[in-house]
């Protein structure tokens, strides 16, 4: 019943990805860009289905992904957005540019659900004692009984997403016209964004780049380590050796952002020298700064020239959403539910 799977199950590998597979995928996307996932397995020789490739890329290898513990801000934001949007993880993830929907979903299911259940039961106990009317907007069950219909919330989210997509498209168009991202420009943009970031978190926009750089660079490091081991002894069986466990879950911290530049040079250098249409990407500080930027969540460029009214409107929205996470998060969190639903 239903449509057949995206790929025939025979000869399709499942389970955890090996560093070699990751390298293949990353280098392919590096050359051809993300998309046309159907062609990826055949062109790379990966014994994976296209879906698996896409998932691996979007949930793990894609630049700009922040891994590790969720901050209080993020947690509150997720709770609030979940109350507002329900289990629309992709929509929620669009408000948390560094997190994947899968990550948020997992975090919700493993941490926040329990947390809220606990706090709710505490609430119930308190309210039954005091006989007071207490209603937490964050409660997962509560959102369904909200006066606003689900369809309305959905519509609002969709409008927001549409705006964001347009914003994304405009910024990438803008990028194409001025794609000679010089280092100072990049640093400028980065520092602009950083201005709005929470210094306490130490997770500035620049570390968005850093995190993805690190993701892939660590990967490469593991791989190079491994291949050198291979050279020494050809009997390496498990890719989980050579500390790949740790490579798979790189701890992100801003103080060792570019430690693995050499590893990058080794891979991206070769691509640069090839006839890749993205060969100018090595000019940037980090690979994804130029090549992958279109793939990352939109970052607003403050240095635009003349803007149409529409663009202005969009970019105002964007700057609120992406360039000022601290203030925006706080606003969103502090906002009552009704108000939050109106921010489109």
Task: Supply the minimum distance, in Å, between the C-beta of residue 107 and DNA.
Answer: 6
> For residues 207-216, b (16+ Cβ closer than 10 Å) or e, as one string?
bbbbbbbbbb
Q: Are 298 and 170 in contact (CB under 8 A)?
A: no
**Residue 75: CB minimum distance to DNA, A:** 12
Q: Tell me whether residue 17 is exposed, middle or buried, using C-beta atoms within 10 angstroms of its C-beta: 0 to 12, 13 to 18, 19 or more.
A: buried
Query: Which tokens in the block code for residue 71?
Result: 């901050």
At its nearest, how many Å lie between DNA and the CB of residue 104? Answer: 9
| Least distance in angstroms from the C-beta of 60 to DNA | 5
- In angstroms, what CA-CA distances link 305 with 110, 265, 308? 46, 34, 10
In the complex, minimum distance from the CB of residue 101 to DNA, in angstroms, rounded to a whole number: 5
Nearer Cβ to DNA (83/284): 83
Rounded to whole angstroms, the maximal C-alpha distance in the chain is 73
CB 34 to DNA: min, Å: 8
In terms of Cβ atoms closer than 10 Å to its own Cβ (0-12, 13-18, 19+), residue 289 is buried
CA–CA dist 56, 52 (Å, integer): 6
CA 59, CA 233: separation in Å to the nearest integer? 33
Radius of gyration of the chain (CA): 22
- Closest to DNA by CB, 88 vs 189, is 88
Which CB, 89 or 264, lies closer to DNA? 89
Handedness of CA 202, 88, 318, 172 (dihedral sign): positive
d(CA 141, CA 222): 44
Min dist CB 31 to DNA, Å, is: 16
Among residues 245 and 316, whose Cβ is nearest to DNA?
Answer: 245
Nearer to DNA, 113 or 312 (CB): 113
Contact set with DNA (CB under 7 A) = 1-3, 5-6, 13-17, 35-38, 48, 50-52, 54-56, 58-60, 67, 87-91, 101-103, 105-107, 109-111, 240, 245, 248-249
CB nearer DNA, residue 6 or residue 310: 6
* Closer CB to DNA, 54 or 322, in the complex: 54
Taking residue 8's Cβ as centre, other Cβ atoms within 10 Å add up to 9
């Amino acid at each position: 019943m239903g449509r057949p799977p995206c790929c025939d199950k025979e000869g399709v590998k499942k389970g955890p990805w090996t560093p070699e597979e990751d390298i293949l995928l990353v280098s392919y996307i590096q050359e051809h860009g993300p998309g046309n996932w159907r062609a990826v397995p055949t062109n790379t020789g990966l014994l994976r289905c296209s879906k698996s490739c896409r998932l691996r890329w979007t949930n793990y290898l894609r630049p700009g992904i922040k891994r590790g513990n969720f901050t209080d801000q993020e947690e509150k934001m997720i709770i609030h957005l979940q109350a507002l949007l329900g289990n629309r993880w992709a929509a929620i993830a669009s408000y948390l540019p560094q997190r994947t929907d899968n990550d948020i979903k997992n975090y919700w299911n493993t941490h926040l659900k329990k947390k809220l259940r606990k706090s709710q039961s505490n609430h119930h106990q308190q309210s039954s004692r005091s006989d007071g009317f207490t209603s937490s907007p964050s409660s997962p069950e509560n959102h369904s009984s909200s006066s606003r219909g689900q369809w309305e919330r959905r519509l609002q989210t969709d409008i927001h997403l549409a705006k964001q997509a347009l914003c994304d498209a405009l910024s990438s168009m803008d990028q194409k016209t001025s794609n000679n991202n010089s280092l100072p420009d990049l640093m400028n943009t980065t520092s602009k964004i950083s201005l709005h970031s929470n210094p306490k978190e130490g997770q500035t926009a620049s570390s968005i780049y850093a995190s993805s750089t690190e993701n892939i660079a660590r990967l490469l490091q593991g791989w190079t380590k491994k291949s050198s081991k291979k050279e020494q002894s050809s009997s390496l069986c498990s890719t989980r050796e050579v500390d790949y466990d740790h490579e798979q879950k790189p701890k992100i911290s801003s103080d060792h952002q570019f430690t693995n530049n050499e590893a990058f040079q080794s891979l991206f250098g070769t691509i640069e020298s090839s006839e890749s249409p993205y060969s100018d990407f090595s000019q940037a500080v980090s690979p994804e700064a130029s090549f992958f930027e279109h793939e990352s969540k939109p970052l607003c460029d403050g240095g635009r020239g003349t803007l149409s009214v529409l663009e202005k409107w969009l970019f105002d929205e964007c700057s609120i959403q992406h360039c000022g996470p601290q203030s925006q998060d706080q606003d969103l969190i502090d906002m009552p539910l009704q108000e939050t639903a109106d921010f489109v």
